[in-house]
Structure 1
C-alpha cells in the first residue's frame, strides 16, 4: 500500500493570531519553498559556475523570499 506524504508544519509562539500557533501558513510556505527550490537550485548552481554571488542569491531565494512571504501572508 502506497500512501501520500503530506507535510504539516507547525510554528508556535507567533503573534499573528490569538492561538499563537500557525499551521496553514507554515505548511503552504514549505510547499511553495520546495516547489521554488526544485527550479531555482539547479539554475543557481549553473549560474554559480560563472557568477558566484549571483548564483548564491538565486539559490537563497526560496528561503529568503518565497517561504517568508507565503508564510506571513496566511496568519493561521
Structure 2
C-alpha cells in the first residue's frame, strides 16, 4: 500500500472555489525533496557556521514550499 500525500488549503482567494489542492500537494512534495538534500547539507555546515547552516536547513520551508504553493492557483 502506497502513501500519497494530499494537502488541502481552504479559505484562499486565489481561485473562485476558494480551495486549493494541487498547489499545496506539489509544494509539500517539493519541500520533502528539497529537505532530503538540504537538511543533511545544512547539518554539516552547521558544525562550522551556525547561522549559515540554519539558513540552509530552513530554506525548504521558508522558500521552496511557499513559491511552489503560490505558483499554482488550484
Judge same fold: TM > 0.5, yes or no.
yes
RMSD: 0.4
* 1:4 to partner: Cα distance: 1.1
Aligned position for 1:13: 11
The number of residue pairs the alignment matches comes to: 74
Q: TM-score, normalised by structure 2?
A: 0.98
Runs of 4+ in 1 over 4 A off after TM superposition: none
- Structure 1 residues 1-76: aligned runs within 5 Å: 3-76=1-74
Q: TM-score, normalised by structure 1?
A: 0.96
